[in-house]
Amino acid sequence: MFDLTQQRYCPFCGGTELERIPQRMTRCGTCGSELFQNASAAVSVVLQLPDGRVVLAQRAHDPNKGKWDFPGGFVDAPESFEDAAVREIHEELGITLSPSVLRYLCSGSFTYPYKGVTTLGVDIHFLAPISEETYAQCRAADDVAQIALYDPREISRTLVSCDSVYRAVTALRVIQ
């Protein structure tokens, strides 16, 4: 997925007469082909201990290096959201979750600037309870610099990487 506003040629005919319909699509004036601006799917998991604290993962790389996220990442084809969430938790924290513990929390959109191209994405945020013993087994790995426990009431918008993550924080506060 790439930002269609950066597209200069039609990938079907090579035409340069491109009509932009912001945040939706690009239409080729030469051959009539339409390229839709679809969002990349991503997941995150809000791991919550019995006392209400949640696990945050600090980003080890750009974009937003040093900011905090809930562990997660992009969905690989042909994964389900739940399979992607389980895979990402294992890659980033080294623990194994059962998909059956995942509960939908909320969703949110985001932009992802990477190597000069900005993609659009949509996060599916899951909530999963974990025990103190499971948290003790967590280790920062993959693209996570470190992990920490936070009380959701103490997580500010400036601490986290994007509005989508903060939307999950807000949703979590509502159900507590």
- pLDDT tens sequence across 46-104: 999 999 999 999 999 999 999 999 999 999 999 999 999 999 999 999 999 999 999 99
- 69 and 145 share one domain: yes
Helix residue spans in 71-176 (DSSP H)? 81-93, 132-137, 163-175
Q: 170-174: long-range contacts (C-beta < 8 A, 24 or more apart)? A: 171/105, 171/106, 171/125, 172/46, 172/48, 172/54, 172/105, 172/127
Phi, psi dihedral angles at 6 (to 5 degrees): -95, -5
Beta strands in 65-150 (DSSP E): 68-69, 72-74, 103-114, 117-129, 144-150
pTM, 2 dp = 0.88
Across the beta sheet with 18-21, the strand order is: 18-21, 25-28, 34-36
Pairing of the two strands 72-74 and 34-36: unpaired
76 and 112 share a domain?
Answer: yes
Report how far residue 171's alpha carbon sits from residue 165's, in angstroms, rounded to the nearest whole number.
10
Q: What is the mean pLDDT of the chain?
A: 94
What residues make up the domain containing 141?
Answer: 40-175
Same structural domain, 32 and 47: no
Q: Is the peptide bond before 63 cis (omega within 30 degrees of 0)?
A: yes
**If you average pLDDT over residues 129-150, what whole number do you get?**
98
Residue written as token pair 């082909």: 33
Which amino acid, one-letter code, is at 154? Answer: E
Mean pLDDT throughout 39-48?
Answer: 97
Task: Let me know whether 19 and 92 are in one domain.
Answer: no
Alpha carbons 43 and 165: distance in angstroms, whole number: 10
| Domain CATH number, residue 102 | 3.90.79.10
Pairing of strands 34-36, 103-114: unpaired
pLDDT of residue 115: 84
| Residue 1 pLDDT | 40
Q: How many structural domains does the chain have? A: 2
Look at residue 91 in the predicted model and tell me its pLDDT.
98
Whether residues 22 and 109 fall in one domain: no
